[in-house]
Amino acid sequence: MIPIGRRQALSNLRTAVAAGRCAAVLGPQGSGRTSVLRAVVAGLVADGVDVDLLEGSDAEAGVPLAAFAPLVAAVGLRGADPLEVYTRLPGLVTARRRIVAVDDADRLDRASVVLLGQLARARARVVVTASGLADLPGTARDADPAGWHIEALGPLGADDLLSLATDILGDELAAPSAAVLVTHALGNPGRAAEMLRAAAGSAVRTDAGIELGPVRVSPRLRQLVAPELPEPGTGPRRLLDLLAVASALPVEVVDPTALEPAASDGLVEVAGAAVRLADPLLDDVLRAAMSPQRQARYCGEAADLVRDRDGWEVDAVLLAARAGRRIDPAVALAAAERALNAHAPDRALQLVRFADPGLADTQLVLGAAHSEQGDHPAAAEALRTALALAGDDRARMRVGQQVGLLHAVRRADPATAVEEVTRIAASVTDPSWRPVLAADLVKWRLMAGLPVDNIEVRPVASQAAVRVNEAVIAAMISTTAGPLDETERHVASGLEALAATDVAPPFAGDLLRLSAYLSLAFGGNLAGAEEFALGYRDAAARSADPALGMWEYGTAELALHAGRTAHADAMSARAMRHLAWRDFTGLRPAARALRAAVLARRGRISLAQELAGQCTPEERADPKVALHLARVEAERQLRHRDRRAAYETLRLAGEAAVAAHNVHLGLLVLDEACMVQPTEEVAALLGAYAKVSDLFALLARRAQALVERRFDLVAECAEGLLALGMPGRAAQAAASAAELAAGTGAGERARRLRRRAVAIVSTAGCARWPAPDEVDPLTGRELEIAELAARRVRSREIAESLGLSVRTVDNHLARVFRKLGVRGRDELPDALSLAPTKPW
């Protein structure tokens, strides 16, 4: 299957070949250039075109024109001498309208290169693949006066690579394995596929997804990564081997005479003050060729190079340990704490085993690392020991933070977190530390659905650690219950305080940025919110950051509200997996409920109900969970055509969420209730919060217009929703306006509004909810043809560019006209435009 990131290239090539041009697909080994070429060939063959697919690698046989032997035979020149082939074959190919496709044209022998040039000069249609423009045979590249169509294949994005993993292994990858694949494949599908196939035999399926284990270096992968390396024993090779065990070294300790040639060959790179291997898979290739004894020797050498250097403490201790040296317990503990603060619990666990187990700080690091890695019994035991050993309020406060995280977030049991942290907080008397746990208790009580006496938190404490925690709580409250305009101030205050303390709540920065994202979304800047979240999500995917699942949850939630259910489907599935791996937010139950809601919206009711049934009563107390489960139940009721019951389900859930201080999420569900069945009651509730943001003002206005049956105002709101980035709601509003217009006898306006609803759903890639039977969106092929026809491209030209018959194109256009309710091509540009239309 062609990845999404290659489909545009495929379409461009088909158009170029249909127009009679020569074309070249350029990309490094493993870039997918062969797959694209074969897809082009398959499409041409399916349309009845004669295509000769030749392999440039056949030239390695050493026989001149060996790669062209199949074509020579096909046109009846078997046994002809080379001169006759040169003079006659191009004319025969052109006359018979054959297309010549050559894979790996940069590997052709000289005689075949000349023949390829002859074909291009004769205006035969030629499609080739090569590594780069400089690798294309010059005579072939320069032969066509009109120029060749060049399609350069760039690296694939993370989503394409992860989809490739799902295709090969049958399931999503766990976050650490996903990060290794994304960062090590470098966007190259061939490298990614080889990594996956090499690891398939030892891959382990877990609740968090498939874990691939260590990278396995197959011969094919070695060839893709390092076809040539410096000779063993040379300075550059020693540098590469040191970097293979150390990951990075300070630039000032590296021999310049070894660094210069390794860098000029593209094997190493200097990033700031550090030197590292340029290819993230090269360390695996190099280590695969080392014995354990040699690896230990290099670890010792690297440890000596980074010892006593600021910023390299964790690396120095780990390398010394891997070299088999004795480790000072105090040094090991300090390094373990640094590793834990850098969100590297695996490194922390490797180091803390060399620390003094009788210290509270050792047990605290051990408990926190086990908690983050999902070993809850070991974490609970270590934290109990740490609390017993804690000799001051600061130590008890730090234990209390980790106990709260373990129960509220890791175990999804916030009620126990409230109980345990309340007990620990009672033993903390120092006013410098007690407010940290007091702020934590606000979070855990909100998660448990317990009342909070005073949720007004103002980050004004003098101590930075306390200010960070208070800012997290204040920002979280302003994004759930308002006012939204205070969120930016809380986030800025928290980030400033975070930079001034090393005793901050874990993941405070991520939680502050999540609040900033939610403020953008609820404020009506959905495009900005999506860009914000996807940027952090992609960065987290590349580094296996524990925030990955949080950002995937956020993007899935936003996609659901925007009506992009296909995107919500993919993101909610990944959010469930990656929150099962790491969850410092307590979103794991909400992610399961969100996944159920998305499945229900996509018509998979049974699976959605099965997933919803896994939510415990304690989890259902979380308003976020309750709202998504209400969506599942409402969808079931809508499938049974009980709109009144669906309306009541959504209304009651929305009102409960607002009462529980989850105002903004509750308002979105109340808006959905109004979409199912407009009522004065819900319109009034939405109107009461119209001043919260432009988004909620628009939702309130549309609700009132629906109640008053003002199709002109509903239509205006549709355009406003589209401009805010909510195409699903926009399409629903346009369709509702069409129904209202038809009811008043305004037939022409009703047709235009219905056409608008279909156009929004078709071109924005969204789903209208709730979707009546009369909304019939254009298929992908219909939309492609409609857009070409709207640009005044004739049917014959459309047919040639897409490899279809004219009759097929005209049949597609007839369906497009029917679905959009237009009379012909002249009305298509207006019908397909997503720019806001004129007021009705």
Residue 660 is predicted with a pLDDT of 85
Q: At what angle do helices 780-790 and 795-802 cross, to 10 degrees?
A: 130
Beta-strand pair 99-103/51-55? parallel
Residue 437 is predicted with a pLDDT of 85
According to CATH, where is 3.40.50.300 located in the chain?
4-152
How far is residue 688's CA from residue 696's CA, in Å, rounded to a whole number? Answer: 10
pLDDT tens, position by position, 467-476: 887 788 888 8
Give the mean pLDDT of 275-282: 93
Residue 5 is predicted with a pLDDT of 79
| Lowest mean pLDDT across 201-215, 241-255, 602-616, 771-785 | 771-785
- Using the predicted structure, report yes or no on whether residue 689 has a pLDDT greater than 80: yes
How far is residue 524's CA from residue 697's CA, in Å, rounded to a whole number? Answer: 10
pLDDT tens, position by position, 468-524: 877 888 888 888 887 888 898 899 988 888 888 766 666 788 889 999 999 999 998
The residue with greater pLDDT, 173 or 644, is: 644
Residue 423 is predicted with a pLDDT of 94
Beta-strand pair 274-277/248-250? antiparallel
Residue 54 is predicted with a pLDDT of 93
Q: Tell me how far CA of residue 289 lies from CA of 40, 185, 230, 299, 705, in angstroms.
A: 40, 20, 14, 15, 72
Domain 226-326 classified CATH 1.10.10? yes
State the fold for domain 709-840: Arc Repressor Mutant, subunit A (1.10.10)
Q: Please report the DSSP string for 588-621 in residue order.
A: HHHHHHHHHHHHHHTT-HHHHHHHHTT--HHHHT
Residue 461 is predicted with a pLDDT of 47
21 CB neighbour count, 10 Å cutoff: 18
Q: At what angle do helices 487-498 and 464-480 cross, to 10 degrees?
A: 160
Q: Tell me how far CA of residue 773 lies from CA of 32, 133, 160, 285, 300, in angstroms.
A: 41, 51, 33, 57, 70
Residue 501 is predicted with a pLDDT of 76
Give the mean pLDDT of 307-335: 93
Residue 459 is predicted with a pLDDT of 44
Strand partners, 211: 204
Pick the CATH number of 4-152 from 3.50.50.60, 3.30.460.20, 3.30.70.100, 3.40.50.300: 3.40.50.300
- Using the predicted structure, report yes or no on whether residue 629 has a pLDDT greater than 50: yes
pLDDT tens, position by position, 165-176: 888 998 888 878
Looking at the chain, the whole-number percentage of residues with pLDDT higher than 90 is 43
Residue 607 is predicted with a pLDDT of 93
Residue 143 is predicted with a pLDDT of 45
Q: What is the mean pLDDT of the chain?
A: 87
How far is residue 648's CA from residue 142's CA, in Å, rounded to a whole number? Answer: 70
Q: What band does 578 get if pLDDT is binned at 50, 70 and 90?
A: confident
| Lowest mean pLDDT across 455-464, 753-762, 781-790, 812-821 | 455-464
- Using the predicted structure, report yes or no on whether residue 747 has a pLDDT greater than 50: yes
Residue 704 is predicted with a pLDDT of 96
- Using the predicted structure, report yes or no on whether residue 377 has a pLDDT greater than 90: yes
Instruction: Say if CB 106 and CB 131 are below 8 A apart.
Output: yes
Give the mean pLDDT of 349-365: 95
First to last CA, the chain: 44
- Using the predicted structure, report yes or no on whether residue 705 has a pLDDT greater than 90: yes
Count H helices and E strands in the chain, helices first: 43, 10
Residue 774 is predicted with a pLDDT of 52
User: pTM of this prediction?
Assistant: 0.66
Give the mean pLDDT of 401-418: 88
| Lowest mean pLDDT across 26-40, 128-142, 507-521 | 128-142
- Using the predicted structure, report yes or no on whether residue 315 has a pLDDT greater than 70: yes
Q: Is 139 exposed, middle or buried (0-12, 13-18, 19+ CB in 10 A)?
A: middle
* Nearest partner of 74 among 47, 44, 53, judged by Cα: 53
337 CB neighbour count, 10 Å cutoff: 21
- Using the predicted structure, report yes or no on whether residue 73 has a pLDDT greater than 60: yes
- Using the predicted structure, report yes or no on whether residue 714 has a pLDDT greater than 70: yes
Give the mean pLDDT of 109-116: 86
Strand partners, 276: 248, 269
Residue 505 is predicted with a pLDDT of 63
According to CATH, where is 1.10.10.10 located in the chain?
709-840
- Using the predicted structure, report yes or no on whether residue 420 has a pLDDT greater than 70: yes
- Using the predicted structure, report yes or no on whether residue 458 has a pLDDT greater than 80: no
Residue 756 is predicted with a pLDDT of 86
Residue 457 is predicted with a pLDDT of 45
